[in-house]
Each structure stands twice: as structure tokens, then as C-alpha cells.
Structure 1
Amino acid sequence: MNRRLVLLIVGLILSGSLLAFSPAPASAAACTNEGSNCKVGVVGPGGGIVFYDAGSMQWWGRFLEAKPDRATTTTWGAETSLYVEGYIEGNGGLTIAQQRQRAKQIGMGKINTSLMVNKLLPPNLQSAGWFVPSKDELNALFDSWKINRLRRTFSAAPMWTSTEASDSFAWYQLFQDGTQFTDANGIIPLKTGNKSDAASHLHVGSNFASSPFRVIPVRAFPPSTGVAPTPVVVPTVTRFNDACAQSATSCTIGDIGPGGGIVFYDAGKTLPWGRYLEIAPASCEGVELPWRVGKARVYKNWETAVKQRLIAKRVGMGKSNTKVITQSFGTGSYAAQFAQDSTCNGKDDWFLPSKDELDLAYNNIAQNREGGKDTPLGGFNKGYYWTSTDYNNVTAWTEYFMDGQQFDRVQTLRGNRLPPANPFRVRPIRSFR
């Protein structure tokens, strides 16, 4: 590949000489690099807009700030892996799959970008401290921009992340609506890679035209010397843990939960919605169900609907989303009603997972698929699963369990219309403790 095209986006972000931004004057910069007087929406110490606050110091820092996006007519980089199988970290080696899963997380953008630079560009480009955001960092920016009405305006355009999905594909996000894609596994037919793309593709059913990729420079602060956490080891079989199954305590990912499902998330502490999430076994899965029946709307006030839909993506929102949906639609044969009516293994508090809850299930327990077969843990089909998060009263969010891409699909559909035909599915979850 022409070297001028290889990751020029990283050079645009990280080269101090090309960043034509300057920090706000000291007299106006109430938010300091040590984190004093900082909150979402204010100007950060680097002159960007603070869009994320972790609430306390993390291994990577606490706050994230973003600059205006920069146009680029170049590519993400060479279609080769950033990672080496068996990478040694701590007491053991990490698989490429583990490294890519971790690369999605908040806090990983700087490390991802360093890998990109070290592999493809001179390392001295890192002097300015800005980096290409990870998948989750960029998504946090999009949500914060819409929910908090940040003063900075970003382009309605495709934005690269620094998260690699495979040797030839990388994650990007449409800032028209927040969808995150790779376009792999048949989403764009016959496509074998996107890292060399200079512009996005037109998707079937979308009215978003193809346009050049852009990059939003992001910066973390206060400075931290912490170490990235070890990735979740995706189990291949369920484990019986008496404390978890019988007492709903001391659960780990992969344990059989008190509802006979599979524990896929531990928040680390008890939150208003609980601490753990478990997903029902395959025997309790719903098949060929639409998301809606009738013409009722979930969110009736268009002025507040945008914010409600963004909040409805979050972890902890699935149960309330399900209640709102069933109250709006009433009785019938549809996804949320199926989940709410489930009495799987004697429990009656199941619900349809939110967008982010279902994504956690995919990331934490559905990573061992062989080809197009059902996953060994949980028996997840490679097709689409409904979430409880509405998109626009006509479509709702789904997750493609072949690779974790999330798309909005027409709410009245029961499955793919085009071959290979595959029904949409529902996998209830429940929260506890």
C-alpha cells in the first residue's frame, strides 16, 4: 500500500505540527489537567470538550475530551493484524481475539493508537497526546454529544475508531445515528476488508450516502501510569458455582446463574438495577418474533424521544425498556412480551436486554463460534437478536451475533427477507443482587 495512505489519519491526529488547535487561555480554563473543576460539557485542558467522566480515577485517567473532527480522504491502515498471537502480558499470553475484545473498551484508544503508530508510522507522532478513540470511547462521545447537547458540533459522517475487528476490518461509527459497523460477514456483500476504504459504503435500507471517513482526536486526563486490565477469558462451557446458583452471590462470568441461565456481566458492586446479569439458555429462546405489533409508539413526545432512546441503550435499562414497550403495545406475540412472559427455569423476572446489555452478552460469552455454527456456550445462532432499545419508532436495535455488529431493523420483521433466510431471535435476560 502507498505509504502516504497508510494511517495518515493517525498522523493528522498525533502530529503536534498538524493539530491546529490550542488550549484555552489559563484565565478561562477552569478545568485543569489534574482534573480539578472538570465536568462533562466544559472546555478541557487541551482545548477540547470534556465528554466523559468515569467518576473516579481509572487506570487510564478519569476524563476524556474531544476536538472537532478532521476530514481525511485516506484509510485506516494496512490490512494486516496489529496483534501477535500469544502476546505475553503478566502471567500469561493473550490471544488475538482477547486483545481485540479489550481494544474496544474505554481507556484503550491511546494504547490502540500506539500500536498503529509503532507498526505503520514513526513513533514521534505521539508527542501531542491526542489519539484515535476506541470503539467504546467514540460511542461515549456520540451519546454524550446528543444527550448533553455539547457545545461542539461534529460532522454527520463516518468516523474511524482505533479498534481492529480482524486482520482486514476495523470498527467505525456513523455520526448520523450512532451505528457502529465493520461491514464484515456479508453486511456489504463480497467485501473482504475495510481498512483500505477512504469512504463509507451505502447500506441496504439506509439513506445515509457514502462519504469520506473522518477522525475525531481524543485525549485522556489526568495523566496515569496504570496498566490495562486483563481481558475477560471467554468460557467454553458453563460452570456450576453453588454460591451463585443457589445464593446469587460470588458469581463469575460463565457461571450458571440462579435462573439457570449464564452469568455474562458483573458490575463489581450493587447498582440500582442489581449487580449481575444472566442470559437465558437456548431452550428458552424465542424465534421468528417481531419487535412490535400494532401502530402504537413507545416514545410519543418527539421532543424528548431522542434523549430517551439514547438512555435506553445503557446497561441497567433493559427491564424498564421492556415494561415501557409492553405497556405501549399491550398483549401479543412480539419480542418484549415474549421475554416478559418467560418463566424460564421457574423465574418470572426475565426481560428483553437493552442494546448495551446484549452487546455485553456477545462480547463476554459468545466469542468461541466455529464458522457459522451455534456458539458452544449458550448456543447462540449467528443471526440477529432483538434488543429492547427503540431506534425511531419504525426500527429497533438488533445485534448480529456472527460478529457483534449492531443494526436497526424494521420492527415488524420476523427475520431476514433476503437469502439466506434466518428468523430474528429473542434471548431474555434477568438481573440480580
Structure 2
Amino acid sequence: MGKLVTTLGLMVVVGVLLGCLPLSVVGTSTEEVVASRQEQKVEPVEQTEVEKSVSMEQETPEVDNVETKQVEESRTYILGERGPAGGFVFYDKGSYSDGWRYMEIAPIETEFGYMPWGAGGIVIAQTSAEIGSGLENTKQVVSVLGDKDPKSGKPYPALLCDRLVFGDHDDWFLPSLEELKLVYRNLMVPALGDFGEDSKLADSYWSSTEDNSSGSGAFAYYLSVYNGDTSSANKDFPGNSVLAARRF
């Protein structure tokens, strides 16, 4: 009988160690066993290199649109070089602001030829001669005059530039007076782009800048290719040509 008790005792001990016997047999409560197991330390499982890589990818935020734009804007242009729309770069303000840095003038093949500025005697107002104002000038002229010259019933320079689609871009405009001066100084004088010595240039080009010094709405500014001089002429004068520009 003593041997039987001893044998059973050993079996109980072994059973407890192996976790095979029920709690009621070994005389230990559920709470005591749970507490004992919680005290046991679980060694952390180290991630594999693949798991680490996946985890890092999940934590990496998506590339912001601003960063993407910065990459696009890292491209630099020099004067006389082809722009993204196929024109020739004539201005670089040094850094991007208001969504643009450069300006390009459309190639000679897009020139519209001699025509009036349009709507002589109609005050446009709010046009500027400053660099960077050509687009706003053009929009202002078109908003006042509409789809045709009210006097002649024909298309006019600002409208033609506004509707021009060239090089997969439709954001062309009639350049301001100071922008035309830059075209003359940076392209025409050094004979860059389309403005080589053998190119056939118009005698003068209209700007999008109205000369409203008289308050009559009768005049607009133009640039002479011969010497780079600028002056104003009656808007109905048909002797100036038209080239479009864009900024980017």
C-alpha cells in the first residue's frame, strides 16, 4: 500500500510539471495557475528581413503632391531653349512663384500676321505693361470684347492668342509690353530661337497693353522689331503682327 501511494505521488508531480493533470487532481485553483503562467516570460520573436521591409513600407507615408511638383520644377531652362510647349524661352525670373518661373514665345509658324488690335474707342482698362501681366491682360480684353471685334466682326489678337492650342498647351496669351521687350532683348537681338539673321520678322508686334492715357480707349502699345522701340498706335491700325506667349 505504501508503494502505491508513493507511485501515485510521483505521477501527480510529473503530471503537474507536464501540465497534463486537471486542476482538481493536483489541488491547485484556476486563479493560481493563471497567475503562475502570466509570470512566465515570453521571449520576443525577431522579425525576418522581409517582415521588417514590409513593416517599414506600411509606415512610410505617401509622397505628397508638393514633393512631386518640386521634382518636376527641378528642370532648368536657358534663354533661347525650346520650352515645354515648343516655343522659345525668353524669360527666367529665377525661382517659381504663383505657379510659374519661365516664359516662352510661340514659334514663327504660329504668327497671326498683320491685323488691328481691335475695338478702337472701347476702353478695356485694367491692363498692365509689367512682366507677368500678359495672361491677365489677355483675359481682361477677351472678357470685354467677347468672341469677335465689335467693330469689325473679326477675330482680334488677344482672342487668337487666348484660343491658340500649340504643343499640346492651350494657355497662350498676348504678351504685355514689357514681356515683348524681353523677347526683343533676349531672343531677337542675339538671334536666338526663330529670330535668326535669316528669319523673316514682322516689322512690329502688338502687345496686350492698352494705352489709355487719353481715356479714349483708342490706342494700344506695340514693339518695333527694327530697333526695339515701343510706341502706341490706333487700335484700328492693321500694320502690326501677333505672336503668343505662355508662362510655366
* Residue 95 of structure 2 is aligned to residue 269 of structure 1: yes
Return closer, same or farther for 1:368/1:398 CA change in 2, 3 Å cut-off.
Answer: same
Partner of 1:290: 116
Partner of 1:391: 211
Partner of 1:145: none
* Residue 167 of structure 2 is aligned to residue 345 of structure 1: yes
Per-residue CA deviations over 1:266-293 (Å, capped at 9, x if unaligned) read: 1001122610000000001111221113
Return closer, same or farther for 1:376/1:408 CA change in 2, 3 Å cut-off.
Answer: same
* Residue 143 of structure 2 is aligned to residue 322 of structure 1: no
- C-alpha RMSD of the superposition: 2.1
Pairs within 5 Å for 1:30-429: 249-272=75-98, 274-293=100-119, 296-299=122-125, 308-309=126-127, 312-332=128-148, 333-368=155-190, 375-376=195-196, 379=199, 381-392=201-212, 393-415=217-239, 424-429=240-245
Q: Distance in 2 between matches of 1:265 and 1:380?
A: 22
If each structure's strand is expressed as a fraction of its own residues, which one has the higher value?
1
User: The residue matched to 1:325 in structure 2 has which SS?
Assistant: helix
State the structure with more CA Rg. 2
Unaligned segments of structure 1, at least 5 residues: 1-246, 300-307, 416-423
Q: Distance in 2 between matches of 1:378 and 1:272?
A: 37
How far the C-alpha of 1:385 sits from its partner, in A, is 0.1
User: The residue matched to 1:320 in structure 2 has which SS?
Assistant: helix
Return closer, same or farther for 1:270/1:356 CA change in 2, 3 Å cut-off.
Answer: same
Return closer, same or farther for 1:358/1:339 CA change in 2, 3 Å cut-off.
Answer: same
Partner of 2:35: none
Task: Give yes or no for contact 2:120–2:218 (8 Å, CA) kept in 1.
Answer: no
How far the C-alpha of 1:377 sits from its partner, in A, is 7.4
* Count of aligned positions: 164
Q: Distance in 2 between matches of 1:425 and 1:359?
A: 15
Q: Distance in 1 between matches of 2:165 and 2:197?
A: 21
User: The residue matched to 1:345 in structure 2 has which SS?
Assistant: coil
How far the C-alpha of 1:296 sits from its partner, in A, is 3.4
What's the TM-score, normalizing by structure 2?
0.62
Return closer, same or farther for 1:267/1:313 CA change in 2, 3 Å cut-off.
Answer: same
Task: Give yes or no for contact 1:273–1:316 (8 Å, CA) kept in 2.
Answer: no
Return closer, same or farther for 1:377/1:430 CA change in 2, 3 Å cut-off.
Answer: farther
Q: Which amino acid aligns with 2:208?
A: S
How far the C-alpha of 1:295 sits from its partner, in A, is 5.1
Per-residue CA deviations over 1:391-425 (Å, capped at 9, x if unaligned) read: 0211101000111100101101111xxxxxxxx11
What's the TM-score, normalizing by structure 1?
0.36
Return closer, same or farther for 1:330/1:283 CA change in 2, 3 Å cut-off.
Answer: same
Q: Distance in 2 between matches of 1:277 and 1:377?
A: 22
Task: Give yes or no for contact 1:280–1:428 (8 Å, CA) kept in 2.
Answer: yes
Instruction: Choose between structure 1 and 2 for higher RCO, CA contacts under 8 A separated by at least 6 residues.
Output: 2
If each structure's helix is expressed as a fraction of its own residues, which one has the higher value?
2
Partner of 2:43: none
Q: Distance in 2 between matches of 1:426 and 1:387?
A: 8
